[in-house]
Amino acid sequence: MSGRRPFRELTSDFTPERRGRIEEIKRELLAEMPLHELRRARALTQRDLARMLEVNQPAVSKLEQRADVYVSSLRSYIEAVGGKLKIVAEFPEGEVAITNFSDVGEDEGDQG
C-alpha cells in the first residue's frame, strides 16, 4: 500500500470551524492575486492570452510584470481571462466604486 489517500478523505474529519477557516483563507488568497497567477488559475498561457489580445507573447509578459499599467490595458487583460474590471477605492468609512473608467479605451484608442 502506498499510504496515499484522497484529499477529501483527509479532510472528512475536519470540524465545521476548521472547514470554515479553510474556506475563509481560500477566499482571501483568491481575492488578491498577481496577473500571472490569475492567468494560470484560468488555465491560460501567455501565448493564449496574446492571441486573445491580438498582441505578441512578450507584450503579455511585460504587462504581467509591470506595476504601473493603463486602465484600458488592464481591462482588456481581465476581460480576456473571463473577468470584469472594477476599480474600488477603500476608505475608513467604506468602499466606493470608481465608475469614470468604465468607458476608457472604448471610445479612445487603447494607449497601453
Q: What percent of the chain has pLDDT over 90?
A: 54
**SS3 (DSSP) at 70:** coil
Reference 61, options 34, 32, 44, 36; nearest CA is: 36
Domains in the chain (CATH in brackets) are 13-98 (1.10.260.40)
What's the mean pLDDT in 24-50?
87
C-alpha cell at 35: 496577473
Q: pLDDT tens digits for 79-88?
A: 999 999 999 9
Q: pLDDT tens digits for 39-52?
A: 998 899 999 999 99
